């Protein structure tokens, strides 16, 4: 496994065999868990070379405390990647990607970037897309792998590739979960055992919707809201039932597997998101 800290060294290495190799790319912010590792495994199945980036991107945090508290253990992450035989890890410093005082790029993703995460985390998607565009230009991967847990991010990356007009295939990989159903997340490390247990309400609500689709959109959204109102420690930020293609709210179901239920909630000041496609 090769580890590069500078884009110049990484691109020099990649340029030597780019014509004959398919390159899979998995961007991460570290604190790797089994969800990230599943992305690496999928990349290794599909591509001859797999690259994982580890970079906590300051430009996509609208909360400075969230950025400061984000879990970070590079040595542990590198050990996990080594065990999976990840080919290349790119661990840049901020100044390797951003010029001094560089501003985020302003993208136009239409309504897709202004709802749900875009509404409650202003500037987040411009910051995320800014760094992903940089990574795509540096690495020029054949395929890039993203977790379905961050469904809105996944859809925006697809829109970004369309805007860039580049032939990168974006692959969404199903959410990996804890035994109790909680979606795997780096932020789970910040939760107590009790908080993890209480946070399973998110998945229970999603699962209820999956099994009670016949009740209709409005009734299921109300069900989720009422379940959260019964909790002392969980605070619902949003629960939206949307079209999968554009994530805009719907009032009645679209075709099978073209609907998404998305939830964001806080517990112990830790923000969690999850979704289910149905």
Concatenating the DSSP letter of every residue in 100-150 gives TTPPPP----GGGGTSTHHHHSTTHHHHHHHHHHHHHHHH--SEEEEEGGG
For the chain, percent of residues with pLDDT exceeding 90: 88
Angle at 211 between CA 205 and CA 215, to 5 degrees: 90
The SS3 of residue 179 is coil
186-277: what fold? 3.30.1300
List pLDDT tens digits, range 33-83. Answer: 999 999 999 999 999 999 999 999 999 988 788 888 888 889 999 999 999
**Residue 17 pLDDT > 80:** no
- Give the model's pLDDT for residue 38: 98
Catalytic hit among 36, 124, 162, 233: 36
- Give the model's pLDDT for residue 69: 80
For the chain, percent of residues with pLDDT exceeding 70: 100
Q: What are phi and psi for residue 37, nearest 5 degrees?
A: -65, -30
Confidence (pTM) = 0.94
Determine the Cα–Cα distance for residues 185 and 36; give it in Å rounded to an integer: 9
**Residue 23 pLDDT > 90:** yes
Average pLDDT of the residues of the chain: 95
- Give the model's pLDDT for residue 70: 84
Determine the Cα–Cα distance for residues 207 and 236; give it in Å rounded to an integer: 17
For domain 2-173, give the CATH superfamily: HUPs (3.40.50.620)
Q: In terms of DSSP H, where are the helices of the chain? A: 7-15, 34-46, 64-69, 74-83, 94-97, 117-120, 124-139, 151-164, 193-198, 201-211, 217-229
Q: Which residue reads 């879990």 in tokens?
A: 71
Band the pLDDT of 220: cuts 50, 70, 90: very high
Q: Which residue reads 């995320």 in tokens?
A: 128
In the chain, CATH 3.40.50.620 sits at 2-173
In the chain, CATH 3.30.1300.10 sits at 186-277
- Give the model's pLDDT for residue 115: 95
Tell me the C-alpha to C-alpha distance, in Å, between residue 218 and each of 209, 210, 253: 11, 14, 10
**Residue 207 pLDDT > 90:** yes
Q: Which residue reads 């405390």 in tokens?
A: 65
Determine the Cα–Cα distance for residues 111 and 115; give it in Å rounded to an integer: 7
Residue 162 annotated to the active site? no
């Amino acid at each position: 496994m090769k580890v590069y800290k500078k884009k110049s060294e990484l691109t020099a290495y990649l340029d030597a065999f780019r014509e004959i190799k398919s390159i899979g790319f998995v961007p991460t912010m570290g604190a790797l868990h089994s969800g990230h590792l599943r992305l690496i495994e999928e990349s290794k199945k599909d591509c001859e070379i797999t690259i994982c980036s580890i970079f906590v991107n300051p430009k996509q945090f609208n909360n400075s405390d969230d950025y400061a508290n984000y879990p970070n253990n590079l040595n542990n992450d590198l050990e996990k990647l080594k065990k999976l035989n990840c080919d290349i890890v790119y661990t840049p410093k901020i100044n390797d990607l951003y010029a001094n005082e560089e501003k985020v790029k302003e993208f136009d993703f239409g309504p897709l970037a202004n709802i749900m995460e875009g509404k409650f985390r202003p500037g987040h998607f411009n910051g995320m897309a800014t760094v992903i565009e940089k990574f795509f230009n540096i690495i020029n991967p054949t395929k890039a792998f993203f977790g379905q847990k961050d469904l809105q991010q996944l859809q925006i990356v697809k829109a970004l590739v369309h805007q860039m007009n580049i032939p990168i295939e974006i692959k969404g990989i199903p959410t990996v979960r804890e035994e109790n159903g909680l979606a795997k997340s780096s932020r789970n490390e910040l939760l107590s055992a009790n908080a993890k247990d209480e946070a399973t309400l998110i998945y229970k609500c999603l699962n209820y919707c999956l099994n009670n689709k016949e009740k209709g959109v409005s009734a299921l959204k109300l069900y989720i809201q009422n379940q959260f109102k019964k909790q002392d420690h969980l605070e619902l930020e949003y629960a939206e039932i949307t079209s999968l293609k554009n994530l805009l709210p719907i009032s009645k179901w679209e075709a099978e597997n073209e609907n998404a239920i998305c939830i964001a909630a806080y517990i112990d000041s830790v923000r969690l998101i999850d979704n289910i496609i149905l």
